[in-house]
Amino acid sequence: MSALTEDAARALICEIGRRLYARGFASGNDGNLSIRLSPDAVLCTPTLICKGFMSPADLCTVDMNGRRLSGDRPRTSEILLHLEIYRGDPQTRAVVHCHPPHATAFGIARVDIPTGVLPEGEVFLGVVPRAAYETPGSEAFAASVRPFVGQATACVLSNHGTVSWAADLERAYWYTEMLDSYCRMLMLARLLGHVERLPEDKVRELLALRAAFGMAADPRADGSTPLYVNPGFGKPGAPGP
């Protein structure tokens, strides 16, 4: 199922873990990463480990029920979240969960991330939904992302962090990086006093670019969901956030 050998997948998880830690997306032992190795096996980070200092032998494999198949350390307590996404979208081969500060701030403030602002945000992220808060590691926590799997590629977890998923780990990591970068720019622009929206025809042109990149159509493209999320964000005098 995965184009990667297990050894290559282990090395890649360690490399992406170092990047997450270096970017301040995962403090202490925050966050977890996984790659689906086969229909019945997922390689994941163990619990209570700093993502910046992992070795390939630290990782473990689990089955699709979260039972450990190999590894000396217990698997991450948040593997149920990863498994929920793999079950919901068979195209997904990698999941990144962490606590990037700018995107997480939107989840703490419970502010919807606006759309129609930046080309990269429109093309690659689209609408980033926010899952309801649930206790980390619980079944309810895993289920909180269920409505968005197959609809989005990243999600903000209320009062917790973010999760992103893709066909490979590097791309799943991109989505987390793009999301936090986008949230940072939104906050900075708002501090300057105004967040300008792109006009509707320009947003539609951006959504049309997804096909050129081999990506599925944005659900907003056929008009079934609103083009602009949180259109009041950053408008002087607009009520609320």
Write out the residues near Zn ion by the rule CB under 5 A. 161
Q: Which is nearer to Zn ion, 126 or 161 (CB)?
A: 161
| DSSP state letter for 53 | S
Query: To the nearest whole angstrom, how small is the minimum distance from the Cβ of residue 32 to Zn ion?
Result: 7
If the CB atoms of residues 20 and 207 are measured against Zn ion, the closer one turns out to be 20
Residue 136: CB minimum distance to Zn ion, A:
5
Nearest to 101 by CA among 203, 187, 193: 187
User: Cα dist. 124→166, 172, 174, 178, 216 in Å?
Assistant: 11, 11, 9, 8, 10
**Joined tokens for residue 128:** 């980033």
User: Which residue, 161 or 234, has its beta carbon nearer to Zn ion?
Assistant: 161
Q: How far is the CB of 81 from Zn ion (least distance, A)?
A: 8
Q: Are 42 and 76 in contact (CB under 8 A)?
A: no
CB of 137 vs Zn ion, minimal distance in Å: 9
The DSSP symbol for 34 reads E
Residue of this chain nearest to Zn ion (CB atom):
161
Residue among 100 and 114 whose Cβ is closer to Zn ion: 100
Q: Residue 118 and residue 58: Cα distance in Å, rounded?
A: 39
The Cβ of residue 94 has, within 10 Å, a number of other Cβ atoms equal to: 29
Q: Least separation, in Å, of the C-beta of 48 and Zn ion?
A: 13
Complex with Zn ion: residue 33 or 229, whichever CB lies closer? 33
Q: Return the number of the residue (133 or 228) whose C-beta is nearest Zn ion.
A: 133
Coil, strand or helix: which one is 149?
strand
CB 33 within 8 A of CB 13: yes
Residue type at 124 in one-letter notation: F
Q: Are 97 and 78 in contact (CB under 8 A)?
A: yes
* Cβ 160 to Zn ion shortest distance, Å: 6
Quote the CA–CA distance of 141 and 11 in Å, as a whole number.
Answer: 28
